[in-house]
């Protein structure tokens, strides 16, 4: 008796919606935090991309310099030919460093993609957390206007005796 504003009726709605908001809001915030962590991984991927690009450039330069030295010194004579072979080897090593750098760049690009997805997941999670928290805060106030005493199924679920 007394409708939605009776002392026995009103606290049930408040408790129900507060519990709902907490239950839904906490996972959303957790998903947001996990997304931010994945975003940090993506940032590391971007840094590794930059490092890989630098390694590619250094490797290519070493390769070009080594090859040029090898060709120049090879024209001098027999000793020059030996030094030229060493120069060629240096050039080959520089080229392999360049290839490794390119692999690092690819890994960095994958990391960047993962980071972008993680940031999106984090934003969605934060939105879910914020929305459900707002439902928990305002839901109870809005639904106290409803006549809960005339909804037997709702009363049974909420264990609200009016």
pLDDT of residue 1: 47
> Cα–Cα distance between 29 and 37 in angstroms, integer?
13
Q: What is the pTM of this model?
A: 0.36
**Average pLDDT over all residues of the chain:** 70
> Cα–Cα distance between 97 and 99 in angstroms, integer?
5
The pLDDT > 90 percentage for the chain reads: 0
**What's the chain's length in residues?**
162
pLDDT of residue 24: 57
Q: How confident is the model at residue 148 (pLDDT cuts 50, 70, 90)?
A: very low
3-state SS class at 159:
coil
Specify the range with the lowest mean pLDDT, choosing from 71-75, 80-84, 139-143.
139-143
pLDDT of residue 60: 82
> Cα–Cα distance between 127 and 108 in angstroms, integer?
29
| Per-residue pLDDT reduced to its tens digit, 106-122 | 887 888 888 888 878 87
> Cα–Cα distance between 117 and 123 in angstroms, integer?
10
Task: Tell me what the mean pLDDT of segment 27-50 comes to.
Answer: 79
């Amino acid at each position: 008796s007394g409708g939605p504003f009776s002392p026995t009726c009103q606290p049930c709605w408040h408790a129900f919606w507060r519990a709902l908001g907490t239950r839904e809001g906490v996972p959303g915030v957790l998903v947001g935090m996990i997304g931010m962590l994945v975003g940090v991984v993506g940032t590391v991927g971007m840094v590794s991309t930059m490092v890989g690009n630098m390694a590619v450039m250094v490797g290519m330069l070493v390769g070009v310099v080594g090859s040029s030295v090898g060709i120049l010194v090879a024209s001098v004579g027999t000793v020059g030919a030996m030094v030229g072979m060493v120069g060629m080897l240096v050039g080959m090593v520089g080229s392999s460093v360049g290839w490794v750098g390119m692999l690092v760049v690819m890994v960095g690009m994958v990391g960047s993609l993962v980071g972008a997805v993680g940031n999106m997941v984090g934003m969605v999670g934060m939105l879910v957390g914020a929305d459900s928290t707002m439902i928990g805060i305002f839901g109870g106030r809005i639904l106290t206007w409803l006549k809960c005493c005339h909804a037997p199924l709702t009363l049974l679920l909420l264990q609200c005796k009016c």
